[in-house]
Amino acid sequence: MYRKFFQLDDYPFRLTADSRYFFMGESHARAIAYLNYLLHTGDGIGVMTGEAGVGKSVVLEQVLAECKADVVVARVRQSQLTSNEFFLVLCRQFDLQPQDYHKATLIDTFYRFVQQQHFTGQKVLLVVDEAHLLQHQVLEEIRMLASLEKFGRKLINVILTGAPELEQLVNSQRKDALSQQVRLSCRLQPLNQKELDHYLEYRMWIAGGEHTVLFPEDTLPLIMHYTGGIPRLINVLCDMVLVAAFMRNSRYIDTDCIRAAVKKLEWQAYEKRLNLSVGQPHSAQLARRSVPRIVVMRKQRLVAEYRLEKDRVLIGRHSKQDIMLCGAWTSRYHAQIIHLNGNYYLQDLNSKNGTYIGQERVGWYPLVDGDRFEIAGFVLEYRMPRVTRKVEQLVEELVI
């Protein structure tokens, strides 16, 4: 849309975790050093926490990309699992074929695999995303795996990532067995204003716009004001800023462009979105454990259910998508569901065969409970949990 106007080689503020655009703030560099040290020593559990959008996935991708050939990785992205399901996921990650799906069989199959890797000189790394949502029993299973040893060497390295709540589960002040297994813990911090300046400059340089697009110094405090230094929010806002400048036919970015973008996004100041007024509950916090679901159906048969636990859920044919739809007419990157200010929006990613609500092809659509949309023969239904509905009613009554 604005790429040719600003003479860019690429869109600089995509939300995808593209390694070319990886920028290390101070806390990101520290986290990478910690995790690399953990993998080098092969001892204990590593924990990385941070607010949504601060860059945990990008840091992990960077660390995993630097892993040597003697490291085999299992990455568990779905945290709402029972113990049985957890071990089944591990077996499938390594293409293991257990005789049956009983827990004892799954554990035995996986343990034999780990031993075999150890004797052939391979290291096994287990990475768990959104670990703060894991059931207590699954955390206990992870502790047991992390404690497996052979000839004085750990058989499995573990990295847990999640929201800051994870720190309460593995706090060094606690005396439980899991916390004692934690070797290193780090929290990713938002960018400060100086880092924000370098971040914007770096992304524009990668996109080929270092000489055509500049964010003046007086715009930086305003960007910080609305994003809190969270990289994902910075990307969303700055992408809209470039759209606003393009619509004004201006190559100059100023505070008016920032305010126009904020108005279009309907954002409040970052602190206002986080903080609560005294005595007034925040709907997102009250319903924290009660998130919407997407139910996938095909030919009137249930295929799968997914909880919308992330602010951005990708849908498509690619195996790394959050909701993978295996179909010839599905694009690799077909659509996404975005969580903004407590609401969920469906966005088509310029797919070849489109995303439909009824007979209408949509590009951007605000989702409400019960909405159904169709992608290449799959019907996906958006469902809000009853608890969320009750919370929203409670908040409305309190506000009134």
Question: At 66, is the pLDDT very low, low, confident or very high (cuts 50, 70, 90)?
Answer: confident
Cross-strand pairs, 195: none
Res. 87: pLDDT tops 80: yes
Beta carbons within 8 Å of 143's beta carbon, 6+ residues apart: 45, 177, 178, 181
Judgement on whether residues 30 and 149 belong to the same structural domain of the protein: yes
Q: Is residue 282 part of a domain?
A: no
Judgement on whether residues 371 and 327 belong to the same structural domain of the protein: yes
Question: At 105, is the pLDDT very low, low, confident or very high (cuts 50, 70, 90)?
Answer: very high
Q: Is residue 107 part of a domain?
A: yes
Cross-strand pairs, 124: 72, 156
Judgement on whether residues 268 and 307 belong to the same structural domain of the protein: no
- Report the pLDDT value the prediction gives residue 396, as an integer from 0 to 100: 52
Res. 104: pLDDT tops 80: yes
Rounded CA separation 136/139 (Å): 5
Rounded CA separation 303/305 (Å): 7
Judgement on whether residues 237 and 207 belong to the same structural domain of the protein: yes
Rounded CA separation 290/384 (Å): 8
Judgement on whether residues 230 and 270 belong to the same structural domain of the protein: yes
- Report the pLDDT value the prediction gives residue 199, as an integer from 0 to 100: 94
Question: At 399, is the pLDDT very low, low, confident or very high (cuts 50, 70, 90)?
Answer: very low
Judgement on whether residues 176 and 240 belong to the same structural domain of the protein: no
Q: Is residue 159 part of a domain?
A: yes
Of 274, 302, 330, which closes a domain? 274
Of 187, 214, 231, which closes a domain? 187
Q: Is residue 357 part of a domain?
A: yes
Res. 398: pLDDT tops 60: no
How many CA atoms are closer than 13 Å to the CA of 43, on its beta-carbon side? 6
Judgement on whether residues 13 and 30 belong to the same structural domain of the protein: no
pLDDT in tens, 237-296: 999 999 999 888 888 899 999 999 999 998 989 888 765 433 344 444 434 446 899 999
Q: Is residue 391 part of a domain?
A: no
- Report the pLDDT value the prediction gives residue 283, as an integer from 0 to 100: 43
Beta carbons within 8 Å of 25's beta carbon, 6+ residues apart: 55, 189, 191, 192, 195, 199
Of 153, 170, 187, which closes a domain? 187
Judgement on whether residues 46 and 145 belong to the same structural domain of the protein: yes
172 Rama sector, left if φ>0, alpha if ψ -120 to 50, beta otherwise:
alpha
pLDDT in tens, 301-324: 888 889 888 888 899 988 778 899
For residue 354, give the CATH number of its domain.
2.60.200.20
Q: pTM for the whole thing?
A: 0.65
For residues 161 and 131, the answer to whether their CB atoms sit within 8 Å is yes
pLDDT in tens, 320-363: 788 999 888 898 889 999 887 778 999 888 788 999 999 999 98
Q: Is residue 389 part of a domain?
A: no
Judgement on whether residues 119 and 201 belong to the same structural domain of the protein: no
pLDDT in tens, 129-139: 988 888 888 88
Name residue 311's amino acid.
D
Rounded CA separation 53/234 (Å): 9
Rounded CA separation 394/380 (Å): 28
pLDDT in tens, 218-239: 999 999 999 999 999 999 999 9
- Report the pLDDT value the prediction gives residue 281, as an integer from 0 to 100: 40
Judgement on whether residues 300 and 333 belong to the same structural domain of the protein: yes
Q: How many domains does the chain have?
A: 3
Res. 153: pLDDT tops 90: no
Name residue 182's amino acid.
V
Judgement on whether residues 97 and 138 belong to the same structural domain of the protein: yes
Judgement on whether residues 81 and 119 belong to the same structural domain of the protein: yes
For residue 170, give the CATH number of its domain.
3.40.50.300
What is the domain range of residue 301?
A: 293-383
For residues 177 and 67, the answer to whether their CB atoms sit within 8 Å is no
Is 101 strand, coil or helix?
coil
